[in-house]
Amino acid sequence: MDLFDRLKDLREQGLAEIKEAESEKSLNDVRVKLVGKKGDLTQILHQMKDVAPEKRREVGQKVNELRDLFNENLASAKDSLIEKAIEARLEAEKIDVTLPGRRKHVGSKHPIRIIQDDLERFFIGMGYQVVQGPEIESEHYNFEMLNLPKDHPARDMQATFYVDADHLLRSQTSPVQARTMEKHDFDKSDLKMISPGKVYRRDDDDATHSHQFMQMEGLVVGKNISLSDLKGTLELVAKHEFGQDRETRLRPSYFPFTEPSVEMDVSCFECGGKGCAICKNTGWIEVLGAGIVHPNVLSAAGIDPAVYSGFAFGLGLDRFAILKYGIDDIRDFYSDDVRFLQQFRQEED
Ligand code: PHE
């Protein structure tokens, strides 16, 4: 067979092989076989020596033409194979956009957290800083620094969970008062702080008692801080939380770290003061304890009580939430029942 016939055959056969290749890999095998270094076309060129000299030019041209033709066809076959692969993938990975979306279960704020966040914003707006203290506290800060020396009878009221001989789960947030006073630079500014957090008491849990609850401590120390400052501040808090038309009253009370000590009542928001089940027919609801910081507490923190004075208060966030939302069992706060919690979902949640 002469070279021209062989070229003709190769042309037909090669184009057919290119057409039949079903994958990029088999197409590549075809490419190597046709136009590769040791491929069919190269082999034909090797046989040039057998061709009559006057025909060599023509054969060379034909070989080059055929190589171009193969290369073009190989390239377009490759493109269409890639396109087919993409299409197959798109088909296989098709998503049904009409399927309903998966609902995300987003939690909602705990009612105590709602009150805490709200009060924090309220106090920050009045220039208070928010301070945290440890939940495992030393007797030194939980009692001694607060004018409750060892063997003081008022310690019994706060008997709590001891971790070792002189560390306990704090029974109140008041130790944060002492910790903050010690560190504060009174030459620079007065001290105005609140401290929200968990506290613990050895209590039998029932509808109105919990061995764990939340308090928010408040403390202001500066020059000329008086009981009227305390009263004005607490009145703002009461009106903010329980309604602008609430009345407040202070009753004398006792805390070792304040003198005088008071408890604040607000007029009952249920009956407006006439007397009902919520206020136990007194017209008043007790909401917090407070007082003027005891000179011993100032001295213990290295502050001169002849120059500085202050007021402090401690409110129960659980109690605020119970009153505000009409909750009848404090244990609901700690039982992780989403049906209870979801009632307090707010717009922003
Ligand atoms: N720590 C007191 C308590 O737990 C509350 C309180 C705080 C009273 C600050 C006066 C001043 O009951």
* Cα–Cα distance list, 20 to 9, 14, 23, 64 (Å): 17, 10, 9, 23
Distance between CA atoms of 48 and 59, rounded to whole angstroms?
8
Which pLDDT tens digit goes with each residue over 91-132? 899 888 898 888 888 888 999 999 999 999 999 999 999 999
State the closest ligand 1 atom to the C-alpha of 158, by its place in the atom list counted from 1: 4
Pick from 104-108, 179-183, 224-228: least confident:
104-108
- Measured in Å, residue 257 CA sits from the centre of ligand 1 at 8
Q: Looking at ligand 1, which residue's alpha carbon is closest to its atom 6?
A: 314
For ligand 1, mutation pick of 160, 172, 253 (most atoms within 8 Å of CB) = 172
The percentage of residues in the chain with a pLDDT greater than 70, rounded to a whole number, is 99
Q: Name the strands in the sheet holding 284-293, side by side, starting at the edge strand that comes first in the sequence.
A: 129-130, 191-200, 212-222, 309-316, 284-293, 258-267, 248-255
Q: Which pLDDT score is estimated for 106?
A: 81
* pTM greater than 0.85 (yes/no): no
Q: Is the CB of 293 under 6 A from ligand 1?
A: no
The helix (run of H) or strand (run of E) holding residue 16 is helix 3-20
Q: Is the CB of 291 under 6 A from ligand 1?
A: yes
Give the CA angle between residues 169, 171, 175 to the nearest 5°. 95
- Measured in Å, residue 290 CA sits from the centre of ligand 1 at 6
Judged by DSSP in three states, 344 sits in: helix
- Measured in Å, residue 174 CA sits from the centre of ligand 1 at 6
Q: Which pLDDT score is estimated for 183?
A: 97
For ligand 1, mutation pick of 148, 209, 233, 257 (most atoms within 8 Å of CB) = 257
Judged by DSSP in three states, 44 sits in: helix
User: Does the pLDDT value for residue 348 go beyond 70?
Assistant: no
Which pLDDT tens digit goes with each residue over 271-312? 888 888 888 899 998 999 999 999 999 999 999 999 999 999
Distance between CA atoms of 32 and 14, rounded to whole angstroms?
11
- Band of pLDDT at residue 347, cut at 50, 70 and 90: low
* Cα–Cα distance list, 332 to 47, 208, 329, 340, 343 (Å): 97, 11, 6, 7, 12
* CB contact at 8 A, 237 and 290: no
Q: Is the CB of 210 under 6 A from ligand 1?
A: no
Q: Is the CB of 128 under 6 A from ligand 1?
A: no
Q: Which pLDDT score is estimated for 81?
A: 94
Q: Is the CB of 255 under 6 A from ligand 1?
A: yes
- Measured in Å, residue 316 CA sits from the centre of ligand 1 at 9
State the closest ligand 1 atom to the C-alpha of 199, by its place in the atom list counted from 1: 4
